[in-house]
Amino acid sequence: MFVKGLLIGIVICISIGAILFFIKTDISVTEKVNLDKSSFEILNEIVDLKNFQKWDPSAVKDSAVTIEFIGEPGVGMRAITKGVKGIFISEYEVLEIEPLESAKLVLRLVGVSDLIYTFKVVDLKHGSELTWNVNFRAPLFATVVGVHDKIKNEFKKGFNVLKKRLKHLPTHALYFE
């Protein structure tokens, strides 16, 4: 009787584990911040991947990693990171730009579904509001371990670095009155 109950318990645990690891779910995370610059200046920091790599918290920051930038800032620009012996780590690519309004990037990682970043900027009377959203598919387990909150915290860290970067840039566009 005890052995039968133990076996049933093990089967249930294995089934739950399989569900958590093999069933995929859509994950979407959004965070907003107000910035003291215009949408033009903010989007320039996003669509120039050389700049974006400096404040994106997902960017690999390791002296053993090389980053190759392909193309000019704008649609089609790519940033490819490679590790030791040239092993592929990740690739960013600018997919879309809606001038003064939004940009869409993709982050490709080995063995993981693409992460789609959507940035929307709205000019305010003084400054702008930037919304950063990411969408991707992940095992159901990711929701159990709180990936949503971890990504929100990473976005906040990125926004803090972006704020510092923007503070040192001269203003190029006038705010709307």
Residues sharing a CB contact under 8 Å with residue 144, sequence separation 6 or more, in sequence order? 20
Rounded CA-CA distance 45/33 in Å is: 15
CB 105 within 8 A of CB 60: no
Domain boundaries, the chain: 24-167
Give the start-end residues of each E strand in 64-142.
66-70, 78-82, 88-98, 102-109, 115-123, 128-139
Between the alpha carbon of residue 130 and those of residues 22, 66, 159, the distances in Å are 34, 29, 9
Tens-digit pLDDT profile for the chain (177 aa)? 666 766 666 656 565 555 555 678 888 999 999 999 999 999 999 999 999 989 988 776 777 788 999 999 999 999 999 888 878 888 999 999 999 999 999 999 887 889 999 999 999 998 999 999 999 898 876 667 788 899 999 999 999 999 999 988 766 544 333
Closest CA relative to residue 37, chosen from 163, 131, 141: 163
pTM above 0.75, yes or no: yes
Superfamily in which the 24-167 domain is placed by CATH: START domain (3.30.530.20)
- Element holding 9 (H helix, E strand): helix 2-22
